[in-house]
Structures are given as structure tokens and as C-alpha cells.
Amino acid sequence: MSPIETVKAMFRAGRFGRKATKQPGTSLLRYREAVSNDGLTLLFSPGNLIISSMRPWLLALLLFLPVVAPQTTAGSEQPTVAAQSISGYVSVADGMDPLGLEISLYSVPGNFPGVPTEIVLTDSTGYFTFISAVRPPYLLKIKGNKGAGRVWFPEETPAAEKNISYPVTEKVVILHTNDQHFTHNKHDELKAKLEEVRGSYDDVFLFSAGDVFVRHPLRWIVNGRLMRDSGWFGERSAFMINSMNELGYDLMTPGNHEFDYREPYTRQALDMADFPLIGANVEVHTDAFPPLDGYAKLKTTTWRDMVVMGLTTVSGNKDGIVENDVLETVTNYIPLRNSADILVALTHIGLRRDREVAEAFPQFDLIVGGHSHDLLEGGEMVNSVLIVHAGGNPHIVSDRHPVLLGKVLLKMENGVIVSKEGQILEILEATVAAGD
């Protein structure tokens, strides 16, 4: 069993409050943070597992970690790695002087965000060079009088191609869906679109704002046919979560259609998720529904912290599910802003209440919402907070429902968000060329 599979098994056994997996569909290293109920922290990427606050019972996990034998010199047990030149250029905005910009080199994840391996200054042309044994992936921090930006290099890059602009621009993309209600059409086309976007940006995240299921038995309709069997609900729920796993969802805030649980099917399906379930304003006191975290922290390739808070709505008066006031909950969680480069609310409370949250808490950069089935083509700006919703399907399954994917582009300069753009992508049927 691999390290990732081992950790997943531990998650499903209820050991951890937050699920995390490697990022599918990309060769870029991506790290997730998962915190256990007793404070253990795990960071892992494809093929690697980093453990802090070690517990004795976790030592067995080390058996699964890849072991690399270091090269040694005669009579020495210390590994030797040949030093090499890491060089590049920094171009600056009009009116700025490229001389004296501070360039810090970090091994990722070896010593970031701690003490850099080395620091050099640019010359009058913006040129810099390190002589270092650090190998990719590594991160460069460029610091000047306009702040500090970061650039991530996953592989060896010739100096002529390492042309960095200052201020440094970083882009983060958040893709989102909501209110699918058991409909999952055009899977292959949606998967292809996700791969296209992931191939165009270093940092792409995929969120669900809830209501993946349908809670009303009289709405268990597939292309006009009523499905009366609760077993069908279980099969369809599992199908939806498995499809989300395959597409590489990063987070989900469950909606009211999930909280109106059906034993044992709702818990069985949600336990299959390879992504965390978050909901800060809901308490779960039943084994019929999985435990929730209030928030999740995701890291970009440049190790920016994106904190995502879950806010949701409960229906069905089910035992063991308690909904708390949204605004009071946010008041308790808003200090997360202090540790976040990007602060997001992933909600299932409807557009009206999203606006209330934005009015009361301008500390949010973005609200990704659902529940009210609103389609906001370019998003809506409220009190400097961008609110986005991607429509939603009726509460019946139909092959005719469109597939809508929301996309948010956050642009940062030296770690500060300078623009937010929302749009809706409609996933269309793949066209077949004549003669195929």
C-alpha cells in the first residue's frame, strides 16, 4: 500500500478530521495540509509524505516512504551533491531600477518558508546567479521596494528562459460547481476542460458548493422515470462522489440535500470522497453523517496559503445535525484572515445571504456559493468581495441538463490580490469530425 493509500485508509477509518490527496491530472507538486483530531500534521505530495508532531503509532508509515541512497565520498558518510549555477534575469516595471533586488533561493519543501539556502542581489541589468547544490523544485523570492513576490521552478530552466518580471505576478484559478442534484452529464468533455485549465496555470483548484444529491424521493426521476428504491439513492450517491474523485475535486461544502441524510447511504457515499468536507456553522452529532471541518487550508505552488471556510444550510430536521447562525460563526472564524494570503468562503446559503456575509465581512476575497441556483455570468462584487454562483440543475436527473463550470481568476502582485475575474464555462458535447 502506498503512503497516499495508507493515509486515505486512516482518514476513512475516522482518524483524521480532514481528507487530503495528491492533486490529480497534473505533474506539478501540490501539497495539502491535514490535521488530525489530536494535532498531528501531515503534508504530502505525489510520492512523498512529510510528518510533523510524530506519534509513535505512526512510525509504521515510514516503511512506505521512498528511500534514496545518498552518494558518499570515500571515508565519509555525508552525501555529496555537485554545485551548479542557477541564473536568470529580473525585468522591472517602467521607472524602476533593477539593481539591488534581493533574490532568495529556497528548496521546496525543504527550507521554505524558513531560512533561504542563499541570497544574492541583482546587478544593474537585473541579472543574478547562485552557485548551489539545490535541485528543482525550488522557489525564488524576489524582494524590492514594492514588496516580495515568489516564482516556482518545478524543473531545470536555462538562464535565458528564467526571465522574471517584478513586481511578480502569481495567478490562482478556482473552478466551481453547485447544485448538480444527481445529474452528471458530459463527463469526458468536463474532464478534458479541467485538464485544459490545469495545463494553463500552475495553481488550479476545484470546489463544490453542495447539493450533489437529491433529498426528495418523489424527485428521484431519471429522464422521466421515477426511481422508488432507496438502493438507487445509494448507488447514485456513490456514482456522484466517485465521479467527483475522478475529476479531482479539492473541497466540498455539503448542502441541505446532503444533510437530509438517508441511512446508511449518505454516510457511505460521502466517506468515499477523496476531498475534505467543510462546514463551519454545522455541528454533526450522528454516525449517519461524516464529521466536518470548519475550514481547509490549501497551498499554492509558491506556498501561498489559501484558507477556505465552509458555510451551509440544513434541511430535514435530521437527528444529530445542528445548524448555527452564519454571521456569528464567521465572526468566530474571521481571524483566519491573519494567516491567509487568500480567504475564501465556500457556501451553500444562497445569494441573498452571501451578500449579507460580504457586507459584514470585507475580509473575504471571494465567496463561492450555491443553494439559490443563481447564475452569475461574471460574478457580483459586494463590498470588495467577489461572489460567484454557477447556476444549478432542477431536482431531477436528465440528459438534457447543461453542464456549467464556474471559473475565477485571482491575480496577485507580490502576494497581494490586484484583480478578481469570474466567468461561466458551458461544457459542450465533443464534436466529431466528418468521416470519423
pLDDT tens per residue, range 361-386: 999 999 999 999 999 999 999 999 99
Which residues lie closer than 8 Å to 38 by C-beta, 6 or more apart? 55
1 pLDDT exceeds 80? no
* More confident: 315 or 203: 203
- Is residue 15 scored above 50 in pLDDT? no
**pLDDT greater than 60 at residue 38:** no
- pTM value? 0.80
Q: What is the pLDDT of residues 197-248, one digit of tens each?
A: 999 999 999 999 999 998 776 667 778 777 778 887 889 899 999 999 999 9
Q: How confident is the model at residue 43 (pLDDT cuts 50, 70, 90)?
A: very low
**CA distance readout (Å), 242 to 54, 144, 351:** 32, 47, 28
- Quote the pLDDT of residue 7: 41
Q: How far is CA 402 from CA 177, 179, 334, 405, 426, in A?
A: 12, 12, 36, 10, 7
- For residue 87, which phi and psi values (nearest 5 degrees)? -125, 165
Kindly state the average pLDDT of the residues 245-253. 98
For 234: left if phi > 0, alpha if psi spans -120 to 50, otherwise beta; the answer is: alpha
Q: What is the pLDDT of residue 345?
A: 99
Residue with cell string 430536521: 317
pLDDT at residue 77, rounded to an integer: 54
pLDDT at site 79? 57
pLDDT digits (tens, 9 = 90+) for 182-199: 888 899 999 999 999 999
Residue that wins the pLDDT comparison between 297 and 27:
297
Q: Tell me: pLDDT of 278 over 80.
A: yes
Domain 170-427, CATH among 2.30.30.90, 3.20.20.20, 3.60.21.10, 3.40.50.720:
3.60.21.10
Q: Going by C-beta distance under 8 Å and a sequence separation of 6 or more, which residues neighbour residue 8?
A: 19, 21, 274
DSSP state of 183: -
Whether pLDDT at 255 is above 50: yes
- Asked whether 283 and 332 are in contact (CB, 8 A), the reply is no
Does the structure show a pLDDT above 90 at 71?
no
pLDDT (tens digit, 9 = 90+) per residue, 397-412? 888 888 999 999 999 9
d(CA 246, CA 25): 9
Domain boundaries, the chain: 3-64, 84-166, 170-427
Percent of the chain at pLDDT exceeding 70: 78
Burial class (CB in 10 A: 0-12, 13-18, 19+), 85: exposed
Q: What is the mean pLDDT of the chain?
A: 82
| CA–CA distances in Å: residue 159 to residues 26, 135, 164, 179 | 25, 15, 10, 48
Q: Are strands 251-252 and 203-208 parallel, antiparallel or unpaired?
A: parallel
- Output the pLDDT for position 112: 72
Separation of alpha carbons 175 and 212, rounded Å? 16
Among 20-24, 98-102, 138-142, 317-321, which is the least confidently predicted range? 20-24
Helix (H) or strand (E) holding 130: strand 127-132
Which of the two residues, 387 and 216, has the higher pLDDT score?
Answer: 387
- Residue 155, Cβ density class (10 Å: 0-12 exposed, 13-18 middle, ≥19 buried): exposed
Q: Is 2.60.40.10 the CATH classification of the domain at 84-166?
A: yes
Between the alpha carbon of residue 295 and those of residues 32, 331, 406, the distances in Å are 13, 14, 21
* Beta strand 138-144 pairing with 366-369: unpaired
pLDDT reported for residue 111 = 67
- Please determine, for residue 9, whether its predicted confidence score (pLDDT) is greater than 80: no
pLDDT band at 57 (very low <50, low <70, confident <90, very high): very low
